[in-house]
Amino acid sequence: MEIKKVGILGCGLMGSGVAHVSAANGYETVVCEVSQELLDKGLGSIQKYLTKAIARKKATVFEKRMIADNLTGTTKLEDLKDCDIVIEAITEDIKIKNEVFGKLDKLCPKSTIFASNTSSLKISDMAKETKRPEKFVGLHFFNPVPMMKLVEVVKTATTSDETFDAAMQYVKTLDKVAVPCKDTTGFVVNRLLVPYLLDAIRALEADVASPKDIDNAMMLGCGYPMGPLTLLDFVGLDTTLSITGIMYDEFKQPQYAAPELLKKMVAEGKIGKKSGEGFYKY
Ligand code: 3HC
């Protein structure tokens, strides 16, 4: 099973990143958004990223040309119908995801692999709603996608070996490292990362130190590239609250319960970098 054409559902932070790395590595790539406005915004963010990255020698002009040659955008789901794999990177809402996969199931041939970039939902809860559970995998990328080496590759009880091998091979050709994971809420990274991020908010609530000092402590004391509160601002407090809710429902353990400060900030619209304010102002 060879992947040649890649479809991406969603051109937000994650979708645009996956579209970027697929096109840059020679895959014919089609990215689909619900509106022209969101599509233009997502494609624009790839161009902005490239301009900065080339200036800092973190990307090449060749990469930019590969993306220009291989990447197209669309607002029509039908344009994904002849893809060998479709990777979903839309909102963390199982109902919406299943609705879109249901439509794609009718549009795409039996051979098309379906993948979800979900960070907290179970892959099997999407796979079982389609007529191709053996063709369903999880592909969880990390932000910023062009820079982060890891992809968690999730095999469910129904994923065929052929599908899993094709997904692993695809990840390898993106010059990323695949970590195979069991289909369990949060996989490896979010299972460990989410309690840590929430503990940083709890430390702030307990007035242990200022946001800057909490971040500096973890960067200088533990060698993290960025402090937990900065990382929360990058991930988005709304996204984190949603992930937290799903993980708490699954595990019922206090380390996954959303701190009051997180709920308050989301209610006030202070959801991080994308809104101009989170734990810091942007
Ligand atoms: N999300 C979005 N953008 C990020 C980011 C992140 N987590 N981390 C860094 N960036 C952006 C920076 O803002 C910067 O953008 P700019 O050019 O517009 O200012 C650009 O990436 C480069 O960052 P640096 O200046 O720090 O460049 P470096 O080359 O020194 O380092 C890095 C890049 C290796 C990406 C480093 O910043 C890093 O390790 N960041 C933390 C990344 C991280 O922890 N990612 C995991 C997020 S959790 C996740 O994705 C799971 C999800 O399910 C919640």
Residue ranges per structural domain of the chain: 5-182, 190-274
Compute the average pLDDT of residues 231-241. 96
The confidence score (pLDDT) of residue 1 equals 77
Task: Tell me which DSSP letter residue 10 carries.
Answer: -
Cβ of 235 closer than 6 Å to ligand 1, yes or no, is yes
The confidence score (pLDDT) of residue 202 equals 98
Give the C-alpha separation, 268 to 281, whole Å. 14
Q: What's the 273 CA to ligand 1 centre distance in angstroms?
A: 12
Ligand 1: nearest atom to the Cα of 234: 1
Q: CATH class for domain 5-182?
A: alpha beta
Ligand 1: nearest atom to the Cα of 119: 53
DSSP-based three-state secondary structure for 112: coil
The confidence score (pLDDT) of residue 2 equals 87
Hey, what are 97's tokens?
A: 């995801």
The third-level CATH classification (topology) of the domain covering 190-274 is: N-(1-d-carboxylethyl)-l-norvaline Dehydrogenase; domain 2 (1.10.1040)
Domain 5-182 and domain 190-274, same fold? Reply is no
Q: What's the 143 CA to ligand 1 centre distance in angstroms?
A: 6
Mutate to test the pocket of ligand 1, among 150, 234, 235, 246 (most ligand atoms within 8 A of CB): 234
50-73 pLDDT tens trace: 999 999 999 999 999 999 999 999
Cβ of 223 closer than 6 Å to ligand 1, yes or no, is no
DSSP string computed for 37-70: HHHHHHHHHHHHHHHHHHHTTSS-HHHHHHHHHH
Give the C-alpha separation, 211 to 22, whole Å. 36
37-51 pLDDT tens trace: 999 999 999 999 999
DSSP-based three-state secondary structure for 223: coil
Ligand 1: nearest atom to the Cα of 141: 50
Phi, psi (rounded to 5 degrees) for 4 = -120, -40
